[in-house]
Chain A
Amino acid sequence: MIRLVPDHSARIQRTEKVPFTFDGVALMGCAGENLAAALMQAGVLHLRNAPGDGAPRGAFCMMALCQECVVFVDGQSVESCRLTVSSGLVVKSRR
């Protein structure tokens, strides 16, 4: 099939994968990758529950404004789209 936009996926090289956890679940992510992106890549989209109706929510704006992707790291709430993955990172949800 003719592609006018080439497929670059095979040409992207990333750092090695390191372990981190989300609510105790062991996950792997590339060292230095944006945490929201890494969680998405690992299939973890449901990051918190909404107040009121308790419905699942996940990263939305990807630019650190909407606060939907907020998680707990070191006891502090932070936007996961402003954090990066490091080996042994412990992430907890606000669920």
Chain B
Amino acid sequence: MLIDEQGQAGGQVWRAKDRSILSAPATPESRSGDNLRERLAASGVRQMTDTRVWQIERQGEHWVIHTLRNGAAGRLHSRAVILATGAREEAQPVRGWTTPGVIGLAGATALFKQSIRLPGRASVVAGAGPLVFFVASEIRRLGGTVAAVVTPNTRADWLARLPSMVARPDLLWRGGRWVADLMLAGVPIYWGHAVKSVSGDDQVTGVTLCRLAADGTPLPGDIGIAADSVCLGGGLAPSTEAAQLAGVAIRYRPELGGWVSEAELDGSTAREGLFLAGDGCGIRGAVAAELHGQIVARTALRHIGQASASDPALERAYRRASRFGEAMTVLSALRADPIGLATPDTIVCRCESLTRRTIEVEIESGAVSSNAVKSGQRAGMGPCGGKYCQSSVARLIALHENRALSEIAPPTPRPPIRPVPVSALAGDFDYDDLPMPKPAPL
């Protein structure tokens, strides 16, 4: 049984189109995605799409997967579970990043793949690694205007990564074409720069850029650019919450996107019958994710007693793909001081509108762990569950306490993994059927 909260299988990289799209030119991603969905349909794998997993529990010999679909809760029992929950996008808080019209950089790819829509009429595209050029190129392909490309990476950073990229000449070629097209079109590319602030009240009107020193600190000399939308990326981070709730520990691996779930290469974890695949155990890119899925499926099959030999060729291919993916992840983290551009009045926690200053005051008053800041100021208690502030909060603690990021664990994740309506959990029930335990002693 394949469960996914999206309307169709495909995940982030191979996200399927909305039903509103009758026809559109194929792209490498749409082709791979359609191919995958065809193979899935032919395989007989049962699929539960539009289904959110909100909790995972171990009961006896089984895992119980609690689902939410069409406003109703359900549960599935299984001897083996593979969590392939992917990644979330990191964000870099800067003044005005909460203005409507600012969307995530990876998020923009979802908009392109699913709805084939543009974020606005003239967009600033900002972020690290190859994604920023992909997004800018897609905006051009869909008829939009790229006001500027802004990336903390320098051309030298890219050159230094060339050796790990020659393994994938196809991707190198594709990326080279994106950049060349942007240059031909006269789109300004700001290498070694970052978005410092976004202006606009109820919609983006422009951004201010600054140049970055090698360590990511902003240099003087602001550049203003008019735009009605911004695609702002801060790299990807593994989604570890589901695995953590199932009892899997996390470890800090900055080269893999930050805190990653602890799993072996074959996907096995410290919990019996629980396996991890893909971005959730480290950001290694789409190619590696697919190969990893194949490896982990074999492990899970063996667990339920079906013969399935491990395949050394597959593992070699996975290692090769991982090297490329890891190089891109490292590039995506390079020269980007994710908190350095936040001014004291910049919002860090979007859900609770908490500024950098508020969080720093809390840290100075002695809240020197992510959980303590969460308790004291609610950073992480809002509806996103801390997904978009936890890295910033950790960095602020590290900065103030002069401690390593590896010592500052994210806040304890809490179920539900996604918000769940009370009515969906309660369902239709008879009061007299509620299993009421005996009351406490008088």
Answer yes or no: do A and B interact. yes
Take A4-B181, A5-B137, A52-B353 as given contacts and tell me if A57 and B18 are in contact as well, using a CB distance cutoff of 8 Å: no
Within 8 A of B (CB), among A21-79: 30-34, 37-38, 40-41, 45-47, 50-53, 55-68, 70, 76-77
Do residues B185 and A12 form an inter-chain contact, with CB atoms below 8 A?
Answer: no
Distance of B203 from chain A, by nearest CB (Å):
5
> Which residues of chain A come closer than 8 Å to B165, judged between CB atoms?
none
**Number of contact residues on B: which range applies?**
35 or more
The A interface, classified by DSSP as helix, strand, loop or mixed, is: loop
Within 8 A of A (CB), among B13-48: 18-25
Query: A53, B20: Cβ atoms under 8 Å?
Result: no
The residue that A63 contacts in the complex, of B25, B88, B120, B352, with Cβ under 8 A, is B88
- Is B74 an interface residue, CB under 8 A from the partner? no
Bound-complex Cα distance A64 to B111 (A): 12
Contact of A14 among B21, B99, B423 (CB under 8 A): B21
| In contact, A70 and B383 (Cβ under 8 angstroms) | yes
B384 lies within 8 A of chain A by Cβ: yes
Judge if B421 is at the interface, Cβ distance under 8 Å: yes
Nearest CB in chain A to that of B203: its residue: A45
A5 touches B89 (CB 8 A): no
Q: Does A91 contact B (CB under 8 A)?
A: no
Alpha-carbon distance A36/B382, docked complex (angstroms)? 21
Asked whether, in the complex, the Cβ of B185 is within 8 Å of the Cβ of A3, the reply is: yes
Contact B89 A61 (CB under 8 A): yes
In the complex, which residues of chain B have a beta carbon less than 8 angstroms from the beta carbon of A30?
Answer: 18, 20
Interface size class of chain A, counting residues whose CB lies under 8 Å from the partner chain: 35 or more
Instruction: Evaluate contact between A4 and B143: CB separation under 8 angstroms.
Output: no
Give chain A residues whose Cβ lies under 8 Å from the Cβ of B418: 64
Complex contact A32–B140 (CB within 8 A): no
B293 within 8 A of A: no
B140's contact among A7, A12, A37, A85, by CB below 8 Å, is which?
A7
| Inter-chain contacts of B98 with A (CB < 8 A) | 50, 55, 57, 60
CB contacts (< 8 Å) of A77 on chain B: these are 419
**Chain B hits for A40, CB < 8 A:** 111, 117, 119-120
Which residues of A sit under 8 angstroms from B184, Cβ to Cβ? Answer: 1-4
Q: Which residues of A contact B91 (CB under 8 A)?
A: 60
Say whether B387 contacts A63, CB under 8 Å.
no
Of B100, B180, B419, the contact of A45 (CB 8 Å cutoff): B100
Q: Is B350 within 8 A of A84, CB to CB?
A: no
Contact with A along B310-353 (1 / 0, CB 8 A): 00000000000000000000000000000000000000001111
Q: B432 → chain A, closest Cβ, in Å? A: 27
Asked whether, in the complex, the Cβ of A66 is within 8 Å of the Cβ of B387, the reply is yes
**What's the nearest-Cβ distance from chain B to residue A6, in Å?**
7
Task: With a 10 A CB-CB cut-off, give which of A58, A59, A61, A77 has the most chain B CB atoms.
Answer: A61
State whether the Cβ of B388 lies closer than 8 Å to any Cβ in chain A: yes
Q: Is the CB of A60 within 8 A of B140?
A: no
Docked-complex contact B142 and A9, CB < 8 angstroms: yes
Chain B 98-134 interface mask (CB, 8 Å, partner A; 1/0): 1111111011101100111101100000000000000
**Is the beta-carbon distance between A62 and B108 smaller than 8 angstroms?**
yes
Bound together, the chains give a CA A51 to CA B19 distance in angstroms of 34
Question: In the assembly, what is the distance between CA of A85 and CA of B114, in Å?
Answer: 13
Contacts of A9 in B (CB 8 A): 142-143
B100–A8 touching, CB < 8 Å: no
Distance between Cα atoms of A47 and B99 in the complex (Å) = 11
Asked whether B104 lies within 8 Å of A60 as measured between CB atoms, the reply is yes
Interchain CB contact (< 8 A) of A12 among B5, B21, B354: B21
Q: Are B107 and A62 in contact (CB under 8 A)?
A: yes
B100 contacts A56, C-beta separation under 8 Å: yes
The 9 closest A-B pairs by CB, nearest first: A9-B143, A58-B100, A32-B19, A62-B107, A52-B353, A37-B115, A45-B100, A33-B20, A4-B181
User: What are 16 A-B residue pairs whose CB atoms fall within 8 Å in the complex?
Assistant: A2-B184, A5-B140, A5-B181, A6-B141, A13-B23, A15-B21, A32-B19, A45-B100, A50-B350, A52-B354, A61-B88, A61-B103, A63-B12, A65-B387, A66-B388, A70-B383
